[in-house]
Amino acid sequence: MSAEPETREDQRIPVGVSSCLLGEEVRYDGSHKRNPFVTDSLSRYFRYVPVCPEVAIGMTTPREPIRLEWTGEEVRVRGVRNRQTDVTDAMADYGARMGRQLSWLSGYILKSKSPSCGMERVKVYKEDGHPAGFNSPGAYAKALLEQNPLLPVEEEGRLNDPALREGFVCRVFCYHRWRQLCAGGLTRQALIDFHADHKLLLMAHDEQRMRELGRMVANLAGDDLAEIAERYIESFMAGLAQPATRGRHANVLYHLFGYLKRELAPADKQEVLEVIEQYRTGMVPLIVPITLLRHHFRHWPDPYVERQLYLYWSPPDLALLNRV
């Protein structure tokens, strides 16, 4: 299944999703795997493009289950009971085709452990039915991601982890901003502004890449902008994919505090420092120091801080910062 890029009537971020996660009864046994966080919470911000590769390549519902099978030379997608069922090529071709057709997406949520849609760690079997001893991506997911290596992707099961959940949604939001920037016409100044807006957000994930990208955008004169932009977003997305630890977040929070220390009364300074340290040592979630800093910056606004998405990107109703 494909769809047209987002319209003015629906400004939600376009995200691909395994159809069964939306409650569609397309699994091999005719059931679904509806995920409430996907359907209820994220749907306020994500406009889903559902895909079921098994149904798309002509398999019925219900149908014989399939699995990844190691032949000794390659991984094939074969029927569990009917040894003549082999949908390897059809699945790979469909994944590659959809990867091209859905290149306008800003994210993708896949069904975990699926021989078609699993992002990783899908069990592979030998031809005799015993475990092969290694895992693989699902056949559709592998082909899809080969076409779109920058696309933020996650499995629904991993979204139960607060840190992985926050990281995935953050990558989707940022990648969507990048796509909007490019669609509007990329300029050197726009690239500089994009980096400035995301600087501290990137710092929380990968400070070294933040500095490298800063040097890249500081020396744009005379270089091919398209080439620079391609290298920039590759490194930017790789940086965001690094886990944002408490220590890295604390470094950003202390950096932000530096913009307040001349303005705050001694008691307020002490409170901010104590709360940041409480976060760093795991006593409180990230939302606590973030909320306190937002409060002080409302009274003592700073142009540099106001443009930083780090403090303001996360939708409050998703509560992404309440458990990290």
* pLDDT tens-digit readout, 170-226: 999 999 999 999 999 999 999 999 999 999 999 999 999 999 999 999 988 877 999
Residue 5: pLDDT band (50, 70, 90) is low
Rounded Cα distance between 42 and 15, Å, is 10
Both tokens of residue 293? 């800093």
Q: What is the DSSP letter of 8?
A: T
Q: List pLDDT tens digits, range 32-51.
A: 999 999 999 999 999 999 99
Both tokens of residue 271? 């409170």
Q: List pLDDT tens digits, range 284-322.
A: 999 999 999 999 999 999 999 999 999 999 999 999 999
pLDDT of residue 296: 98
- Helix (H) or strand (E) holding 153, with range, is strand 153-155
Give all strands of the β-sheet with 13-18 in edge-to-edge order. Answer: 46-51, 13-18, 108-110, 153-155
Least trusted range by pLDDT, from 2-6, 17-21, 120-124: 2-6
Both tokens of residue 287? 């939302």
C-beta of residue 148 within 8 angstroms of C-beta of residue 106: no
Whole-structure pTM value: 0.95
| For the chain, domain boundaries | 13-159, 161-324
- H helix count then E strand count, the chain: 12, 8
